Each structure stands twice: as C-alpha cells, then as structure tokens.
Structure 1
Amino acid sequence: MKPTDRRGALRAGAAAALAGALATACGTEPRPAPVAGHHPASAPASAAGHHPAPAPVAAPAPRRFPGQPDEITHGPRDRPRVALTFHGQGDPALAGRLLAQAEKAGARVTVLAVGGWLDEHPDMARRVLDGGHDLGNHTQHHIDVNAMTEDAALAEIEACAARLRRLTGSVGTWFRPSRTPHAGPAVLRAARRAGYPHVLSYDVDSLDYTSPGAAAVVRNVTGTVRAGSVVSLHFGYPDTAVALPLLLAELDRRGLSAVTTTELLS
C-alpha cells in the first residue's frame, strides 16, 4: 500500500505546499497580504541551493464517468481500493492533522469542502490539493439542501463552486449534498446545472459526527467496508483523528488501498 513512488509524490506535494507558503499540516492561518510596493528580501538566484518555488498543483475539473449513475455510492468491487471522503469544515489544525496522517500512510483522500469554511480558511484548499487529494464542493452554508427549491439549491452549490474556482482555478472534482446522504431529484438537476456530472454519496458511514469514540469509528468502518467502498468521515471531530491511523492500518492489513474518489473510479 505504500509504494516508493507514492511516498515520493506525497513528499513532493508537501514540499510544494511549504514552498508556496500555504497551510501546513498543522493548519496555520493564511499570511497577511503583502503591503503594496513591498517585496520580501530573497536570496540571489546564484546562491547555493536556491531554486524557484514549484508551481502549485493544478485543480482538476469535474468529469463524467461513463457507466456510473448520477449519484455514486461506491466504485468497482473488483479492485482492492476504497475512497475515504471527508466533509470539510471545522478546526483547520485538526483537518491538517488528518491530512498529514493520511499522507504519512501513503493514502489519498477526498475532501468535500463547505464554502463558508473556505472563506474562513482559504489556505486549506491548496493544502488539500498539494497533498495529492481530491477537493470538492459540499455547498456554501451546509444546510439541508434537499429541503430547498432547485434554484435555491443551485445557488448554494454555485456559491461554493465560486470559492473553489477562485482559490484553485476549478469548481472542484465532486459535489456532495449537505445534511443528507442522498440527493433528491431537484438537487441532482441543480448539480448538473452547476457543472457536476455526478453527485457523490457513500456506502459506509463512520458515524464519527456522533463522537462515539475512536474505537467505534474504526468498527463502524471496518464492519462494512469492502473493495470499492466510499466511506463518509468528517474533519471536525477529534475521534476521527485518533481513529484514522488505526483505520488505515486495518485497511492495509486487508490489502485495501485508500485512494481518491477519482482514482477509485478511473
């Protein structure tokens, strides 16, 4: 589960994040904008060991997966892969800790970010991408999107998409509806109008948002996970951070690799 090339790619991604002065694994706040006309001092180009900072990772756009339904709950069952998906909001330091844990284990995850969270912690968008993970849309305000009209749901989706586009150049790879595991017909139509060919659901719920304890989070996942599963997890709960290394170790023992949702379906 931990091939050398994957570890190398993850290290390179982490280096890009540091070199670009973005959020680190501990979830630091964004740096203040530079004062007009001010240019930080830098070492001469000829200085030993000086290299230009690498360009940030490009943010992929949504794509259609032929043969997959409008709402995806799992991937192929004949390959030893699973997708760990995180609802993206909460303490950015805890989010950074979870990303770092995944990267240390050679895993990649999918983060569905709430637009309001990105407004408060904009560096987290690049932190996710520079770690080699998927980044997607989880509405702007994280309210019950199924209870809205189609136009209101579209406004929620497009508001978050606008944040993602501003921060990364793309509306994100996936859309997941808020406050519900499944999208109603109006939300499916709104998602397509916003540019998301598929809505991402899941077939394994960790129930970590109920704060059941780390051991229960691990049991909730490992009791039903299998090849192709999409697992629902959350950034904002300490139990999840304690559980994740144990969960990744158990998936590894079972021969299951944790990959992005895009990789799961490719």
Structure 2
Amino acid sequence: MTSLDRRSVLRVAASAVATGALGSGCAPAGTDSPAVRTPGAPRSGRPSAPDSARPGGVPSAPAHAARPPTRVPGMPVQIEHGPRDGHAVALTFHGRGDPRTATALLDEAERAGARVTVLAIGDWLDEQPAMARRILDGGHELGNHTMHHRNICALPADAAYAEISRCAERLRTLTGTIGSWFRPSQAQRATDLVTRLARKAGYPHVLSYDVDSLDASDPGAPAVRRTVLDRVRPGSIVSLHLGHAGTVAALPPILDGLHRRGLRAVTTTELVT
C-alpha cells in the first residue's frame, strides 16, 4: 500500500469523526482469501439479483446472496477459534457505524487481499441497507449481531429470540439468507439459553472469539495494532469494530504484521472448514 493510499483512508476516517458521523459498534463488555465457493456457484459464490429497490432503500429482491449458516461437524456449538495448525486467522467486525468509515476499512482489506467477516446489527442494516451488498460484493462474509445490540444474555427468552430472529429476517430480505454466523451482543460468549435460541433461529453455531482488540474504547491505532498482534495466533478469531477511525488506521499494520508471520486473513467460514 502506498503512503498516498494510507493517507486517503485516514482522511476518510478523520472526516467521519469530525462530523460526528461515527456510531459505536459494541459497547465494551467485560468479556465483551477469497470467499468459500459452493459447488456449481459462480466465481463470487453468490448469485446476482435485480438492483431495483422499494421506497426506503431496501431491495425488492435479494442482493447478492450471503452464504447460509455455516455448519462444521466436529466443532463445538460455540466457536472461539479455528485450527491452530494452519496459517490463517479470521478478522471479525461488529457491524455498525458511518458507511464511509466501513467502506474505507473494507477497501483497505481488499487492497491487501484480505477477507473479513462482518456481524451486522439489524438497525444498522435498516439505516444502511446498501452496506449488505457492499460487504458481499467485496468477497466478505456477513452474519447476525442482533437487532438492537442489547445485552442479549440478560434478556428474557422471548426478547432475546426477537433480537436474533429480527436481525435474521433483515439479512434474509437483503441477501437471501440469514447469514453465515450469529454472534451475541455485549458478550464474548453466549449463555446456554442464547445458544439454544440461536439454534432455533437457524444458526448451528455461535461465533465467539479468542482475541479482543479492545478497539471499541478508542485507544488509538497503535494500541489496537499492538493488542491484536501481541495476542493473535494461528486459528485466532479477532473481534474488531467497523465504526471506529482508529480501527481503520490500525488495519494496514495489522495485516502487514500477519503477513510477516505467514498468516492470512480469511473469512471465518474459510478458517474453520
């Protein structure tokens, strides 16, 4: 990446901060490559769909379809990391924030040949429906991070299920499937109840992580880079956020550091299958 590219990305992120446009991803909780192809699918792994849209910006037919929920025989219901004997890691992003910042981050990942997993919040998809198409068109993976990003593990069963199922329906409307993964909001691990509700909604696994970048507290790009590179190992699943300028600035050195260690950033499905 050239210094001009890097300055351009930083200017986009800084502009979003200056205008107050960035929304936070996850509130900090205390514990808080190419896409995989399906046989017979086109090279992108996702069928095309019409571009027409209903009033309000929601497509009248699915956009490029996301992968359906990933099922990995032999893996636990709650997945914290992938195989430790490989050469890949998964960078996973909690999906909320200004679309300019999110797009800058996706552009940066694509320039480096990286693919990421975005766990989108349903009300963000309502506000920014075009981001679902942008994520998938970049070869990335899309999943469910609840409808309103409430503390799902503290909710009663009916409210928790509504958080999961309503976001799943948003994803289905926009992409044709409920997405590849479910991750609980404001928690690193799901309770047994939330795990059962996620399976009821159609997700065989709950996606956790073993590396928390701590970027949601906005410690600055150097701190985010150090935290990730100090803790990452082969097979790691890293938790990051789209809506933070420091994360955009930290991504290029994180990807450089992974490359120097012989590690690739791939989608979570590619990591575990």
C-alpha deviation, 1:57, in angstroms? 3.4
Q: Letter of the aligned partner of 2:79 in structure 1?
A: I
Alignment of 1:64-213 (within 5 A): 64-213=71-220
Q: Letter of the aligned partner of 2:265 in structure 1?
A: A
Aligned to 2:247: 240
Q: Aligned residue pairs: how many? A: 228
Q: Is the 8 A contact 1:204 1:225 kept in 2?
A: yes
Distance 1:69 1:57 in 2: 29
Distance 1:31 1:264 in 2: 38
Q: Letter of the aligned partner of 1:132 in structure 2?
A: G
Q: Is the 8 A contact 1:137 1:175 kept in 2?
A: yes
Aligned to 1:222: 229
| Cα offsets for 1:5-42 (capped at 9, x unmatched) | 959x9xx96xx99x9699xxxxxxx9976xxxxxxxxx
| Cα offsets for 1:63-117 (capped at 9, x unmatched) | 3201111110000001100000000001111000111100000000000000000
Which consecutive unaligned segments of at least 5 residues does structure 1 have?
Answer: 23-29, 34-54
Q: Is the 8 A contact 2:34 2:115 kept in 1?
A: no
Distance 2:231 2:110 in 1: 24
Q: Is the 8 A contact 2:51 2:63 kept in 1?
A: yes
Distance 2:70 2:250 in 1: 31
TM (norm. structure 2) is: 0.78
Distance 1:228 1:21 in 2: 40
C-alpha deviation, 1:242, in angstroms? 0.3
SS at match of 2:93: strand
SS at match of 2:231: coil
Distance 2:80 2:129 in 1: 28
TM (norm. structure 1) is: 0.80
C-alpha deviation, 1:151, in angstroms? 2.0
Distance 1:235 1:66 in 2: 30
Q: Is the 8 A contact 1:56 1:130 kept in 2?
A: no
Q: Letter of the aligned partner of 1:98 in structure 2?
A: L
Q: Is the 8 A contact 1:174 1:200 kept in 2?
A: yes
Q: Is the 8 A contact 2:34 2:139 kept in 1?
A: no
Distance 1:147 1:32 in 2: 33
Q: Letter of the aligned partner of 1:65 in structure 2?
A: V
Q: Letter of the aligned partner of 2:228 in structure 1?
A: V
| Cα offsets for 1:209-264 (capped at 9, x unmatched) | 01111000000000010100000000011000000011001101110000000000
C-alpha deviation, 1:126, in angstroms? 0.9
Distance 1:73 1:66 in 2: 15
Distance 1:184 1:248 in 2: 32
Q: CA RMSD in A?
A: 2.5
Structure index of larger Rg? 1
